[in-house]
Amino acid sequence: MGPTERKVLTCEQISPEDPQEKNLVMEEDRGILRDRLVRDQIWIATATAIRLRLILLHKTALQTDRPFSLITCRPVLKTKVERSTDSFTMGSKLVASFLVFSVLATVAYAQLSETFYESSCPGGPAKVAEVVTSSIVRDRTLAASLLRLHFHDCFVRGCDASVLLDGPNGEKEAFGNKNSLRGFEVIDDIKRQVEALCPGVVSCADIVALAARDAVVAIRGTNWSVPLGRRDGVVGSAAEANNDLPPPFADFSMLSAMFSRKGLNTRDLVVLSGSHTIGFVSCATMQTRLYNFSSTSATDPTLDPNFANTLKRQCRVGDTTTKIKMDQTKFVDTWDFNFYSNVLRGKALLQSDDALKRNSNSLKIVQQMNRAGSPFNAEFGRAMIKMGQVDVLTGSSGEIRRRCNAIN
């Protein structure tokens, strides 16, 4: 057969301030469209069949995974030569599906903005910070709880506030959440006060994201921007939470795979784990590592022996209720990079944290974070922005809940 022409979609993200400016800092060619996957087609006119061009105005935006407020798509004619009468093979279908996903993901990413509520609810973000700060003044331990709530939300069905939904099969009932997650009453209080300002405008998903950031700031930790515009999901699933939340006994391979499924890489994994510099862990979680680790060693041999004895004095055999500090080297939770020192010295409470030094690539990142002048704060902010955009609902998807614990 002879060559035919077909329209495909090319998307560009351009500075809203100056649409004519084309300061190209990254162009990502989707090489999967080459003959490696689509062996029955030869595409002419470009090196790849469809080029998803991301024109990013500022290099700093690229480095921090900041959102972009404008995306334009236009049809472009491409010429292809048919090699067989089967014009749409399985390989082509896979490629088409990938491209649709890529474009939609980019559009969703572009729809989040730090100024999303500037006109519709200008006082909303400040009200979130106000309530969070006053709550943490009363109970400093809520800082880690609100941060953890955001993690557990984003890892199950994306950052859609599904973790807040009540119900017998909801995410609150999952193994990693039940009798463990805290801070729901703070989110409910924020929602009531924000609804009084701007009824039906600010999503619970955005409140959770803002509260996580404001909680860290309230204990004099790092700060980061929070792109807004998420909408709330209408489904919560304990089964999905049990499958998607990284367990405390995970080894590096399991952690890496679970983070990768959310679009997060090894660096994101190591940096986000640094949040364990604050917070508490239940003695129930520590029982196996301290008393029943293996048939050859009752206590995990990777734990520093003296440290293990310290933990055993706090968590007795069978104790499933006591909570102990994640960082045992501090009397009061402070935001710092001491977590990485604990990992290197065999003083990390969770096996999943100790696992970060069991891979050569992640070990290098742990060591980088543990040095004087550590980039941890900047890296943590970058990773939080990235995680906060996992599978978000935008536009007309989902809803804006009136109450965060129930769908409308």
Q: Are residues 274 and 188 in the same domain?
A: no
The first and second tokens of residue 368, run together, are 């980088």
Examine the domain organization and report whether 192 and 263 are in the same domain. Answer: no
Same-domain pairing of 275 and 373: yes
Position 116 pLDDT exceeds 80: yes
**Mean per-residue pLDDT for 357-373?**
97
Residue 160 annotated in ligand binding: yes
In a domain, 397, yes or no: no
Asked if the model's pLDDT at residue 370 lies above 60, the reply is yes
CA dihedral 101, 104, 110, 111 (to 10 degrees): -140
User: Is 279 in the same domain as 212?
Assistant: no
Please report, rounded to a whole number, the percentage of residues in the chain having pLDDT higher than 90.
Answer: 73
Say if residue 400's pLDDT is above 80. Answer: yes
- What are the start-end ranges of the E strands in 14-152? 41-44, 71-82
Q: What is the CATH number of the domain that holds 313?
A: 1.10.420.10
Per-residue exposure over 262-294, b if at least 16 CB sit within 10 Å of its own CB, e if not: bebebbbbbbbbbbbbbbbbbbbbbbbbbbebe
Residues 54 and 90 both lie in one domain: yes
210 and 238 share one domain:
yes
Q: Which of 53, 76, 111 is the last residue of a domain?
A: 111
Whether residue 223 is contained in a domain is answered as: yes
Cβ contact 351:343 at 8 Å: no
Q: In this structure, are 239 and 263 located in the same domain?
A: no
Q: Is 153 annotated as a binding residue?
A: yes
Q: Average pLDDT in the 374-394 region?
A: 98
What is the per-residue pLDDT across 70-104, written as a single tens digit (0 to 9) for each? Answer: 333 444 444 444 344 444 444 444 444 444 444 44
Asked whether residue 30 is domain-assigned, the answer is: yes
**For range 216-222, the mean pLDDT:** 98
pLDDT at 60 over 70: no
Alpha-carbon span 160 to 204, nearest angstrom: 8
Residue 373 CB neighbour total at 10 angstroms = 5
Q: Of 62, 90, 111, which residue sits at a domain end? A: 111
User: CA 76, 5, 99, 63: dihedral to nearest 10 degrees?
Assistant: -40
Instruction: Provide the domain count of the chain.
Output: 3
CA dihedral 107, 109, 113, 119 (to 10 degrees): 40
Residue 64 has pLDDT above 70, yes or no: no
Does 352 carry a binding-site annotation?
no
- For residue 116, being part of any structural domain is answered with no
User: Judging by beta carbons within 10 Å of its beta carbon (0-12, 13-18, 19+), is residue 4 exposed, middle or buried?
Assistant: exposed
302 and 227 within one domain: no
pLDDT at 71: 39
On the question of pLDDT at 302 being above 70, the answer is yes
**381 belongs to an annotated ligand binding site:** no
| Token duo for residue 398 | 């989902």
Between CA 390 and CA 160 the distance in angstroms is 9
d(CA 103, CA 92) in angstroms, rounded, equals: 16
- Overall average pLDDT of the 119-126 stretch: 98
Contact assessment for residue 6 and residue 78, using Cβ atoms and an 8 Å cutoff = yes
Look at residues 309, 311, 303, 313 and name the one whose alpha carbon lies nearest to residue 286.
311
Supply the pTM of this predicted model.
0.76
Tell me, yes or no, whether 354 and 312 share the same domain.
Answer: yes
* Residue 206 counted as an annotated binding residue: no
Q: Which of 152, 191, 267, 386 is catalytic?
A: 152
- Show which of 196, 218, 244 is a domain's final residue: 244
Residues 320-329 have a mean pLDDT of: 96
pLDDT in tens, 228-283: 999 999 999 999 999 999 999 999 999 999 999 999 999 999 999 999 999 999 99
CATH number at residue 225: 1.10.520.10
Q: Is residue 315 part of a domain?
A: yes
Has 162 been labeled as part of a binding site? yes
pLDDT of residue 69: 37
Question: Do 90 and 182 belong together in one domain?
Answer: no
Flag whether 217 is marked binding. no
Within a domain: residue 405? no
What's the mean pLDDT in 3-29? 39
Of the pLDDT bands very low, low, confident and very high (cuts 50, 70, 90), residue 212 is: very high
pLDDT higher than threshold 60 for residue 24 = no
Q: Residue 82 forms beta bridges with which residues? A: 41
Kindly state whether residues 18 and 70 are assigned to the same domain.
yes
Q: What percent of the chain has pLDDT over 70?
A: 73
- Provide the pLDDT confidence category of residue 391 given band limits of 50, 70 and 90: very high
Shared-domain flag, residues 148 and 240: yes
Q: Is residue 301 part of a domain?
A: yes
pLDDT digits (tens, 9 = 90+) for 331-356: 999 999 999 999 999 999 999 999 99
3-state DSSP assignment of residue 126: helix
Chain mean pLDDT for the chain = 82
160-210-190-326 Cα dihedral, nearest 10 degrees: 90
Lowest mean pLDDT among 32-36, 133-137, 312-316: 32-36
Structural domain span for residue 37: 3-111
pLDDT for the residue 111? 80
Q: Is 171 annotated as a binding residue?
A: yes
Split at pLDDT 50, 70, 90, the class of 141 is very high
Distance CA 200, CA 404 (A): 11
150 is catalytic: no
Most confident of 24-38, 104-118, 249-263: 249-263
* Contact in structure between 133 and 141 (CB atoms under 8 Å): no
Q: Are 312 and 322 in contact (CB under 8 A)?
A: no
Q: Is 150 annotated as a binding residue?
A: no
